[in-house]
Each structure stands twice: as C-alpha cells, then as structure tokens.
Structure 1
Amino acid sequence: MRKNLTQEELGQRTDLTKGYISQLENNLSSPSLETFFAILEVLGTTPKDFFDEEDTVQQVVYSKEQVTIFTDEEKGYTLTWLVPESNEKDMEPVMITLEPDGEYRHFPPSLAETFGYVLSGSLELQLGGRRYDVKKGQSFYYEANQHHQIRNASAGTTKVLLVATESYL
C-alpha cells in the first residue's frame, strides 16, 4: 500500500476489519463506493491517481557494457545481443560476426520478418531454395516463411546487423 500500512492499521483508520481488508486485497470482496473512498482518503490518493497506471520510464539508450555475447567456435560465429532481454520484445536486434567459412544457425519457417545490413565482408543468404549474395553496404529483408540461414561468403570476417521480429535467434 502507498502508506505502508498494515491491514490492521488500515482497518482501524477506516472502521473496517482486518479480515475484510484481506478479502479486498485478495479480490474476494468488493467495497461499496463509500468504503472505497474512505480507503483512498486514508491512503492519501484520489480515484484518478488510483486508477491511472504509473508511468514507467523505459530505457532507450543501451551501453556496450549491457550487451550479451555468445560465441560458437564450431560454427564460426559470434552473436551479440544489443538490447538486454530483447528476446522478450517484438524485435530482437543482434550483431553477428561470421569468421571465414562461418555460418549462423539454420532456421525453420516461421512467422518472423528479418532485416539485415552487412557492415563488413559479404554473406550468402539461403532462403528456401534460393541463394542471395549480400555485400558490404547492402541490406536484406524477408519474411521467414521458408528455411533460412546466413553464411560468410568472404575470405575475411563478415559483420551483419540483424533484426528479427520473433525471438528465435
């Protein structure tokens, strides 16, 4: 509660029993309007403030200290999650670094949409039965309704910024 009152203290200040306050807290009973307004008065709030959702400040800028990095040496790639807990959001931005002959996971068809921008090197995008060559400075976008995978297509390291709309990275 806003004033950190115990059920007993709130009951004393509103002429309600501790048991009734407990029922209200556990949604086992509904107060009359008179009782509701009495509780709000004791808590020092208004009906508007009570029903308004608290404004939570969203994090907008993320630092390099907040990234999570995973390296798969066998497949030759490093995956950097650029936004913490992005797998719980609608978009998941990651940076993928592919070593020579490196390849990222093979994905089954899904409802996701995927965008990528090649920052360095070049890659091969396999989408269903088609292959696309994507070079530094080029971007790609596709609906992931077919099997898909990216591979390094250069002799050096390839870096790609990838944003998927489904958390399956």
Structure 2
Amino acid sequence: MTLDDDKMPASDAGGTGSDMPAPAALGRMLRQRRKAIGKTMKQVALEAGLTEGFISQIERGLSTPSLISLYNVANALGTSVDTFLSQPPRHEHSMVSHAGERPGYNVATKDRVYELLERGFPGAMLNGCITQIPEGYVSELTNHEGEDFIYLIEGEILYEVDGKDYHLKAGDTLHFPSKLPHRARNIGKGPARELWVGTTRIITED
C-alpha cells in the first residue's frame, strides 16, 4: 500500500516507527471505503459513537481521530484499524515487552504517538498501549465496548467521563466502563504519557 506517509522517527516513538497516513490521505481512504459499502456519514457516526460533523471533518482531512475512534469507525465500515496502517502491525505474542523495541503508531499526526504493547499469549483479554499526548490536545467524545484503565505516567490530564471531570496527575489512575462517553484534555505544560489497559482489541489477532 502506497500512501503519503509521514514517518515517525524511531527515536520519537521508542520503536521502529510505523505510522498512519497523513490526514488528507486517511480521510480519502475512509470516504472511499464508506462509499464502497453504501453507508452515509450519519450511519457511520451513529455506529461509531461519534458526531456526523466529526466524521465529515475526518474525511476532509480537517481532524484526526484518536486510535480508539479510528477503531470505532473501522468497525462501522466493516474493516479493521490494520487496514489504515502504512505497515501491518506486529501480531506476535510475548510475555515480555522491552522498552525501545516497540513500534510507535500515530493517526495522521506525529505528535500523538501510540506505542502498542504486545499481547502475552493468544486469546488474551487485556490490551495495552502507552500514549504520548501533546500539550493542549483535546480528544473527541467517544465510547466503545469493554473497560478502560488509565495510569498517568507523566503530565496532567483532565478526563471527562459521563459528564464528570477527573483531574489526573502523574501516578494517578482512572478505571471506568468504556461505554460511558469520555474524552481527555492535556491541561499540563508539555506532553503527557499514559498507560492504557483495556479489553478492546484494537489490533486484530492472527
């Protein structure tokens, strides 16, 4: 697959650097897939738990979804997040995951990096990801199946869950049902890093 990729240097991502396509290319791919299966933006938005306006912004390259929102959109389009990666993710199983050896992915912008943690064994229920969140970033309001557990490694994040705000600083945790509408805002000075553990299988398993 050839795309207008914006490659993430390995030094920035802590791994080999495998990225999503740039915003316009990602939007074009999503729009083409949606039209190919005959769905409207409203239908995709309803199934993905997002607004029709946000889907329109993604397709026009004006906004970039979070990884979990892209997962929701991909599900609504009858495909997987893997489809929109410039390189296929690793489908390995290892009980140990070493820092500096994991690839970093992003969603059409290199300042928000997702370091996917390998599942320890086939059929594992838990999935993990270390995310670098840029200063000033505000995610879209979203929801999905399963549970979310957040451990803030560094920085300061204001989480909104089901209309209630939770102010997290380094070392704080947050655990909630993922079906509740939620979003995050980096209110600190500088980037933040968080560990997410959840039951949502974002990357498919061979």
TM-score normalised to structure 2 length? 0.46
Partner of 2:124: 89
In 2, are the aligned partners of 1:100 and 1:157 still within 8 Å (CA)? yes
Is 1:102 matched up with 2:137? yes
1:160 maps onto 2:173 in alignment: no
- For 2:101 and 2:123, locate their aligned partners in 1 and report how far apart those are by CA, in whole Å: 16
Partner of residue 135, structure 1: 169
TM-score of the superposed pair, with normalisation by structure 1:
0.55
Structure 1's consecutive aligned runs of 4 or more residues displaced over 3 angstroms after TM superposition are 72-76, 84-89, 103-106
Give the whole-Å Cα distance in 2 for the aligned partners of 1:66 and 1:105: 30
Cα distance, 1:150–1:88 mapped onto 2, change above 3 Å = farther
* Aligned-residue offset at 1:84: 5.7
Deviation at 1:129, TM superposition (A): 1.3
Name the SS of the counterpart of 2:96 in structure 1.
coil
Structure number having the greater strand percentage? 1
Distance, in Å, in 2 between the alignment partners of 1:65 and 1:94 is 14
Residue 121 of structure 1 contacts residue 135 of structure 1 at CA under 8 Å; is this kept in 2? yes
What's the counterpart of residue 148 of structure 2? 114
2:127·2:197 contact (CA, 8 Å) conserved in 1? yes
Hey, what does 1:79 align to over in structure 2? 114
1:90 offset after TM fit, Å?
1.2
C-alpha contact (below 8 Å) 1:66/1:84 kept by paired residues: no
SS at match of 1:145: coil
Show the counterpart of 2:179: 145
Q: CA-to-partner distance for each residue in 1:74-122, whole Å, 9 max, x for gaps?
A: 5942111021699963111100111111244643242x11111111111
RMSD between aligned residues: 2.9
Mapped to 1, the partners of 2:199 and 2:179 lie a distance apart of: 13
Structure 2 residue ranges without an equivalent (≥5): 1-92
Equivalences, count = 111
After superposition, the Cα gap between the structure-2 partners of 1:102 and 1:88, relative to the gap in structure 1 and judged at 3 Å, is: farther
Contact 2:150/2:173, CA 8 A, preserved across alignment: yes
Q: Which runs of 5+ in 1 are unaligned?
A: 1-57
Contact 2:94 2:120 in 1 (8 A): no
State the alpha-carbon separation in 1 of the partners of residues 107 and 189 from structure 2: 19
Structure 1 position 67 matched with structure 2 position 106: no
Q: What corresponds to 1:125 in structure 2?
A: 159
**Superimposed CA distance per residue, residues 113-137 of structure 1 (whole angstroms, 9 cap, x where no aligned partner):** 1111111111011112112111111
How much identity, in percent, do the aligned residues show?
Answer: 16
Q: Is the 8 A contact 1:98 1:104 kept in 2?
A: no
